[in-house]
Amino acid sequence: MQDTVKLHFDVSGNDFTCAGEASGKIKRTLKQLGFDISLVRNVAIAVYEAEINMVIHADGGVIDVDIDSDCITVVLKDRGPGIPDIELAMKEGYSTAPENVRMLGFGAGMGLPNIKKYTDEMNIDTVIGVGTTITLKVYNK
């Protein structure tokens, strides 16, 4: 148990006041652990985007973080509607966010592309009507 640090967060859906709380805590923990700030920033931005996606599209979910000295792994699991066309969702500017969400400044269609940009590995496992699990990896180089 001493070689890794594990964090767990429950993210509630459609509640923008709490959105970003998990990524903020992950960032603080990584900073305290002394990880290089560029890594911290990459993880924080990617998780923030994914967390917001969870809030907007999937009525929340859970985030599990596994920190070891070589790699940060973040698994975001939701029971949302699933992503019908991942390729389309990966296009910058493509968004299915409803109007009320866009009014809040979210839903610019940068979520998934940004997550990919800031991580070394991104795996999306999605089943329509069941949910989506996104696994992110950022290596400590």
Partner 1 sequence: MNTVFHSVNLDKSKCLGCMNCIKRCPTQAIRVRHGKATIISERCIDCGECIRICPHHAKTAKTDSLSMIEDYKYKIALPAPSLYGQFRNLEDVNIVLTALLELGFDSVFEVARGAEVVSDATRKLVEKGGLKKPIISSACPAVIRLIRVSYPELIDNLLKLETPMEESAFLARKEAEEKTGLPQEDIGVFFITPCPAKITAIKSPLCADKSNVSGAIAISDIYPKLLHKMKHLENVQELNQASKAGVRWAVSCGEAYSAGINNYIAADGIENVIKILEEIEDDKLNDIDFIELNACTGGCIGGCLTITNNFVARTRLKALKKFVQDTDNKINNEDELKEIGWKGELEPASVLKVADNVTDAMKFMNQVEEMVKTFPGLDCGTCGAPTCRALAEDIVRGYANVDHCIFRLKQEMEKNPNTNNDDIEKMIPVPFRGTIDEEKLKWT
Nearest CB to partner 1, comparing residues 30 and 83: 30
Helices (H) and strands (E) in the chain, counts: 5, 5
The footprint of partner 1 (CB under 8 A) covers 1-5, 24, 27-29, 31-35, 37-38, 41, 44-45, 48, 67-69, 140
CB-based contact 24:45 (threshold 8 Å): no
Nearest CB to partner 1, comparing residues 30 and 97: 30
What is the closest distance, in whole angstroms, from the C-beta atom of residue 101 to partner 1 in the complex? 17
Nearest CB to partner 1, comparing residues 10 and 125: 10
C-alpha closest to that of 122 among 107, 138, 109? 138
What is the closest distance, in whole angstroms, from the C-beta atom of residue 28 to partner 1 in the complex? 8
For 84, residues 6+ apart whose C-beta sits below 8 A from its C-beta are: 128
